[in-house]
Amino acid sequence: MRKLFAAIALFQVATLAPAQTTSRRTIDRCAQDGAWFYASESTSGEPISVERGGISLRIEHPTPKGADAVVSLSHGSHVLAQKQKDLDHGYGWLTVSQNHAFALTWNFSASATSTQLFGLSPRGNIIEDIQLIPLAEQTFTADARQACANPGLNTTAIKWLDQDHLLLSINAWASGFCESNFTEGFILDLPSHSIQRKLSERELLDFPAVCTRNVVPIPKH
């Protein structure tokens, strides 16, 4: 009888263990679609710079090893400077369209991701669009509340589909708010300043010419 119980226990461990480490496919960014930059590289006093598609980004810390930074965005002779707090760690992603509209995604931590959208005026000035991404986030939040009462917002610019359309991913998981992995994709149409299409997580993962990665969850003890 003891041998029978031992055999059952071994069978249970063998069948349960793989389920705890089953990987989950999630959306990612392809190297050819943008440029990465790492804020921590500028805390030594030396600024960091990255360029993509005619758009340049420069991060400087006025106080060496300080957390606050000045982010300068430029296109030709036109420059837009913004201040960013607590930018001593984390990393970012710059993706630029053919007509020099661009998106900046800031990954401050594993549970804090935000995205800014910019375009050029007829005179070439850099202008931040403060309405289109919040429109997608509002739509997402209404849907995500089906999975979580107070969903977080982790908003990532994936890639430009063409010069006018940006593919965005938004995820509900955020530390202290929601443990759900509820995810949706949005195709933003810049000329009409609207959401052209909303994608389910499955549609987003299966979207042509996007990169994905496998995430193996850490078992809870």
188-216 average pLDDT score: 91
Q: How far apart are CA 63 and CA 74, in angstroms?
A: 22
Give the predicted TM-score (pTM) of the model.
0.82
Instruction: Tell me the C-alpha distance between 184 and 171, whole Å.
Output: 7
pLDDT 10s digits, 118-148: 999 999 999 999 999 999 999 999 999 988 8
Q: Which amino acid is at 157?
A: A
171: which 2 tokens? 């995820």
High-pLDDT (> 70) share of the chain, %:
80
Closest CA to 55 of 118, 147, 7: 118
Q: To the nearest whole number, what is the mean pLDDT of the chain?
A: 83
Per-residue pLDDT at 12: 44
Three-state DSSP class for residue 39: helix
pLDDT value at 221 more than 80? no
Query: How many whole angstroms separate alpha carbon 181 and alpha carbon 113?
Result: 14
pLDDT exceeds cutoff 50 at 171: yes
Higher pLDDT pick, 127 / 111: 127
Cα 11 to Cα 5: distance, rounded to the nearest angstrom: 10
pLDDT category of residue 16 using cuts at 50, 70 and 90: very low
Average pLDDT over residues 170-197: 88
What gap in Å lies between CA 27 and CA 95, rounded to an integer?
16
Beta bridge pairs of residue 98: none
